[in-house]
Structures are given as structure tokens and as C-alpha cells.
Amino acid sequence: MKIAVIAMTGGGRKLAARLVPKLPGAVLESPGPGIAATMAALWREYDGFIMIMAAGIVVRAMAPLLGDKRSDPAVVVVDERGRFAVSLLSGHLGGGNELARRVAAILGGRAVITTASDVLGLVPLDLWARSQDLVPRDGKTMTRASALLVNNGALRLYAEVPVAALPDGLVAVDRPEEADLVISSRTDWPANTLVFHPRELVVGVGCNRGTPVHEFAAALDEVLAARSLSPLAVRNLASIDLKRDEKGLREFAGGHGWEIVFYTKEELNRVAGITVSPAALKATGARGVAEPAALLSARTDILLMEKQKWPNLTLALARAKFMLSALVREDCNT
């Protein structure tokens, strides 16, 4: 986590000099011509800000910079004696609460946390979801689910994936109609259903040289729509190592933030029970690409979808093993 430490006064700078050497990733930045201008210039360069000054100054300076809680940096305000470290922005997803605790521990002060779930002793739902590799169905789902948890003190959860354990405040139920929140890769839920998608789907890909991005997109959209599966449930793509430099494939994966896992022909050829492709064997030396790549990456021997062909590419789907736990990591950004 890259952290800017900014102080306005001599006392604040002395405190910063104590803090920076003990906080990995911390950099002492000059307040420059003014706090507002300095924060604006550095806003996208840092994951977090520690502002040693009055909270009001920081609030006015950062107000025009605020975007989305999923991308805004953490902001912690500290008084110049180091008595209080206040988590002011991005307490959960940005790591502000944890940063405030770390600063307070270093300075011998007290962390001030105001997020409702922390105050009430409930699981921070956004952190738990990220720790579990769950993606909200849309931009409003997390807000609505978190509000239900805070207001009711518990959230009833129906999961289409195995559940090893759940954190305090989340209660498993057996039927979706009993649930406040559904964990599912599927999209065919009523519009008002709160759904988190588990990133459990692996897409095996074989393609001709020069296949454009839009052909990958159209093929995968077709495959997922036919099975009522969400693209948000895709964990990664998988292919043969000969496609490492395939521009269209890389651009397609990069546009969605998906990793591509590559395998050698020898690794692919060790996978049993696949559909043998004479064309793939001739071009790559592998008996198949899409199916064995999906199976290897998902670490399973069962295909969710056998390979389908388009003029320039083939796709196969596998479901990786996925299990919910009570784990909540607050150090995802560190």
C-alpha cells in the first residue's frame, strides 16, 4: 500500500518523521501551495493518505475528488499530537480502518472507526465479499445488503456453492425465498434479488492467429447467456502457451480484468476424456486446447460445457472448486 503522509505544521512534521519510518509504503509529501491542490495532484498516485491536520481542512480539500468507494483511496486524519487516527474515507474497501489502527498503534494513540458494521460488531460485508472472491450483481447490491445487515443485525444467506463457515451476522438458509442475499453464478434471479456472484468459472480458449477482440466477446456472451451465467462469475481464462502473445485474446481478458493461465502442449495432452481436435493437434501439437485448459485451470475433471466452435475460436467452461468461509481480510490493499 503506497501512502502519502502530509503535515501542515512543525509539530505535524515531527509526528510524520516518527511515523513514516515505521509504516511500510509511507512517503512524506510536502503540503505544497495548498492542501487542496496537493491532494488533487496526488489523488490517483497513492492508495492512502495520512493527513496530520484538522479534519475540516481535509474534508474541504478532498470533496471535489470523491468518486466511488471501490476506487477512492483511504484517508486517515491524525491530530498533531498523535492521540487520534480517524478513518475518514474508504474505511473498508480502501483499507482506511486498518490503516487508522496501524497508525494509532505506531503513535500510541486511538483509532477512531465510524463505519456502522464495525461499531455494531458485525462483519464488514464488503470486505468479506472481497475476501471470498464474490462480486455484487450491480452497483446497488452491496449498499442494500449492507444496510439490511446493519438494520436487522443479521443477513440470511442462500448459497449455491459449498459453505464451510460464515462470519457472525450471516446465517445460512436452505431456500432462496428465505434469503436476504443469494450467492450464485446465475443471472436468472428476480430483479429485486440481492445476488453476489462467486468467481468460479474458468473459460478455456482456443483461437486462430489474429482473432479480434469482438469475436471473443460475442462468443462468450452467447455461451454465458444460453446458460444464464454472469460474466462477473468468470475467474480467469486458460489457453495454450503458444497464445501468450495473441493480441486479441490479451485485450479481451484485460478489458475484463481476467488473468489468462497458459499451459504447454505436454500439460494439455495429459488431460484425459477430452474431445480430440485434429486441427489443434496439427497447429499446436495438443490434442485439444479449450477443454483441457479449462479443466487444468479449474482443477476438476468435469466440464460445465464441452467445447463450442466458432469460425476463429473454441470455448469450453469448467467450474472451479469454491467454498465460502468466515475469513475476512482487512489487508487486501497492503
Which residues are CB-contacts of 94 (< 8 A; sequence separation ≥ 6)?
A: 47, 48, 69, 72, 73, 74, 333
Q: Quick check: 114 pLDDT over 90? A: no
Reported CATH class of domain 125-198 = alpha beta
Distance (Å, whole) CA 193 – CA 199: 18
If residue 290 lies in a helix (H) or strand (E), which one and from where to where? helix 290-298
User: Hey, what's the cell of 38?
Assistant: 496537493
pLDDT band at 123 (very low <50, low <70, confident <90, very high): confident
| Residue 91 and residue 113 in contact, taking contact as beta carbons nearer than 8 Å | yes
**Residue 54 scores a pLDDT above 70:** yes
Say how many residues make up the chain. 334
Per residue in 59-89, pLDDT (tens digit) is 999 999 988 777 899 999 999 999 999 999 9
Question: Taking CA 249 as the corner, what is the angle to CA 244 and CA 250, rounded to the nearest 5 degrees?
Answer: 65
pLDDT tens readout for residues 209-224: 999 999 999 999 999 9
Q: What single-letter amino acid sits at 332?
A: C
Question: What pLDDT, on a 0 to 100 scale, did the predictor assign at position 30?
Answer: 92
* pLDDT digits 0-9 by tens, 137-162: 998 999 999 999 989 989 999 999 99
Read off the pTM: 0.75
**pLDDT tens digits, one per residue of 170-201:** 999 999 999 999 999 999 999 999 999 999 99
How are beta strands 110-112 and 134-136 bridged, if at all?
A: unpaired
pLDDT for the residue 90 = 82
Give the Å distances, CA to CA, from 146 to 115, 129, 197, 243, 331: 11, 11, 16, 42, 20
Instruction: Evaluate whether the domain defined by 201-319 bears CATH number 3.30.420.180.
Output: yes
Q: Are 157 and 166 in contact (CB under 8 A)?
A: yes
pLDDT band at residue 236 using 50, 70 and 90 as cut-offs = very high
CA distance 88 to 49: 10
Least trusted range by pLDDT, from 42-51, 93-102, 243-252: 93-102
Question: Where are the chain's structural domains?
Answer: 3-114, 125-198, 201-319
Which positions ≥6 away from 224 have C-beta within 8 Å?
230, 231
Q: Band of the pLDDT at 334, cuts 50, 70, 90?
A: very low
Helix axes 96-107, 10-19, angle to 10 degrees: 100
**Residue in 302, 330, 328 with CA at minimum distance from that of residue 316:** 302
* Confidence (pLDDT) at 277: 87
pLDDT of residue 119: 64
Determine whether domain 3-114 maps to CATH 3.40.50.11220: yes
Confidence of residue 332 (pLDDT cuts 50, 70, 90): very low
